[in-house]
Structure 1
Amino acid sequence: MSITTFAVAGATGRLGRHVVDVLTERGHRVVPMSRATGVDVVTGQGLAEALTGAQVVIDVASWHSSDQEAATEFFRASARNLHEYGREAGVARIAVASIIGADKATAGFLAAKKVHEELLLDGPLPVRVLRAAQFHEFVGQLLDWQPGDVAHVPALPTQLVACRTVAEELADLATAPAVPGTPIPEIAGPRRETLAEAARLLGARRGVKVVGVDGAGMPDAELAAAGAFLPGPHATLAGPTFQEWLDAQP
């Protein structure tokens, strides 16, 4: 196996930590990029130094809130800087994690990810996109947002996937030969369920009662209810299920 130098944007985030682990375990050289390591993909601080000698950039940097305008500006700046600094450094390609259904989104964070995809794909460097389902780890975040012993969670269909599984698929995509004309790949978990059903499993462990709601008021809730953000027929489905993942947590 040839050793590649990867620069990972968002390396200390929920998905980024797993990407760094997977690449390191496979024997590659990894340059972690985040504000914690002195690299800011929005301002460009430290980016030129971090990308020196890198062959591939994996972009899993994300905005910390669901505000569409703020997230769009973040992705606009990061896409521009990764292309600009990456081209100057001689980077061969960028691989980026996106979200299943982003291409259909009209509002909210997913609409910002749609812009992110478009900006990256329009840049000078070759870009490979992997669209993933919502993460298992997202369920805990939904409960964390609602302190107390009752949480209201949308009963919207999903096919949750583990961050580690996404990281492995993204690492594969970043190193595999490009195949022109193939659709953007998707990765999702093996079981279709609703966010509320998964949240009840976690809520039972936390002593939180989870009440399923219809998602009214959420961006593109009608699209979500109709299955627009579920994996397509060509998607890769990989475990663990949410229950298996939860059982493995300390």
Structure 2
Amino acid sequence: MAVAGGTGVLGRQVVDACRRRDLTPVVIARSAGIDLVSGVGLDDALAGVDAVIDVSNVVALRAKPAIAFFEAATGNLLAAGERAGVRHHVAVSIVGCDRVDMGYYYGKRRQEELVGGGSVPWTIVRATQFHDFAGQLLERSPGPVKLVPKMLSQPVSARQLADHLVDVALGEPAGLAADVGGPEQHQIPDLARRLLAHRGERTKVIAAPLPGAAGKQIAAGGLLTAEGAVILPETYDAWLAAH
């Protein structure tokens, strides 16, 4: 089972989930000599692969670089998968990417279009933000006061999501699957404050409202799972206690 983006936050968890089931994970990452954007090394990496789980990612807030990345990476991965006879392509997307107008989400929409229009049998799994997300935003905010965007979210365990993705990949292609999220709704700035308190840090967090249409869409629940979603049980408090 190939894991595209297998060295990232979710990718490492997917690789571990494969190993727990005695599957053989193939890590697709630049550090492994495989480049999704150029396609270098993909054919060799996918030789003999039954399924691909694509959790690849790019740090891009604007639409143009996000779209460019997913067009190149997804296009190359699908083409190599077709040549290799891959049985099942699983792409991980984001809950709300089809209804929240943020730059990065336009890239995810393009990824979904390519997967859905490709010849490799596919499943798209949209998931909510991970428990790790608040900490990542803190790291990206320099200075003694942290600005964290005001976002109503439904954070999910990356480890439990990884197990779910392996289940999906071992099953039959299903098209657009049910949303996946955690059991609780939280404002991301509140999670950031709780994380800092858990670390014993007294850093001030300011909730920064998101401007424009995206801010209104998120406030209206744009990042929350739809009816019929798969709810994974780990809470944010349980995740904190384990970290």
Fold agreement, TM-score > 0.5: yes
Q: Secondary structure in 1 aligned to 2:2?
A: strand
Match of 2:18 in 1: 23
Does structure 1 conserve the Cα–Cα contact (< 8 Å) formed by 2:47 and 2:84? yes
Runs (4+) of structure 1 moved beyond 6 Å? Answer: none
Does structure 1 conserve the Cα–Cα contact (< 8 Å) formed by 2:161 and 2:232? no
String of CA shifts for 1:109-128, please: whole Å, max 9, x gaps.
11210111111111111110
Which of 77, 91, 100 pairs up with 2:86? 91
- How far apart are residue 106 of structure 1 and its match? 2.8
String of CA shifts for 1:137-168, please: whole Å, max 9, x gaps.
11111101112332122332111112112111
Does structure 2 conserve the Cα–Cα contact (< 8 Å) formed by 1:155 and 1:197? no
Instruction: Name the % identity.
Output: 37
Alignment of 1:239-250 (within 5 A): 239-249=233-243
Q: Bigger CA drift: 15-24 or 160-169?
A: 160-169
Does structure 2 conserve the Cα–Cα contact (< 8 Å) formed by 1:148 and 1:208? no
Q: What is the alpha-carbon distance in structure 1 between the residues aligned to residue 207 and residue 196 of structure 2? A: 12
Q: Is 2:104 the counterpart of 1:109?
A: yes
Does structure 2 conserve the Cα–Cα contact (< 8 Å) formed by 1:203 and 1:210? no
Q: Is 2:146 the counterpart of 1:154?
A: no
Alignment of 1:17-56 (within 5 A): 17-56=12-51
Q: Secondary structure in 1 aligned to 2:57?
A: coil
What letter corresponds to residue 114 of structure 1 in structure 2? R
- Report the count of equivalent residues: 241
Match of 1:3 in 2: none
Q: Secondary structure in 1 aligned to 2:238?
A: helix
Structure 1 segments unaligned to the other structure (5+ residues)? 1-5
- How far apart are residue 179 of structure 1 and its match? 5.0
Q: What is the alpha-carbon distance in structure 1 between the residues aligned to residue 203 and residue 47 of structure 2? A: 48
What letter corresponds to residue 77 of structure 1 in structure 2? A
Q: Is 2:208 the counterpart of 1:213?
A: yes
Output the TM-score relative to the length of structure 1. 0.92
- How far apart are residue 103 of structure 1 and its match? 1.5
Which of 46, 61, 66 pairs up with 1:66? 61
Q: Bigger CA drift: 147-156 or 133-142?
A: 147-156
Output the TM-score relative to the length of structure 2. 0.94
Q: What is the alpha-carbon distance in structure 2 between the residues aligned to residue 77 and residue 147 of structure 1? A: 31
Structure 2 segments unaligned to the other structure (5+ residues)? none
Q: Is 2:194 the counterpart of 1:201?
A: yes
Q: CA RMSD in A?
A: 1.5
Q: Is 2:220 the counterpart of 1:236?
A: no
- How far apart are residue 78 of structure 1 and its match? 1.2
Match of 1:190 in 2: 183
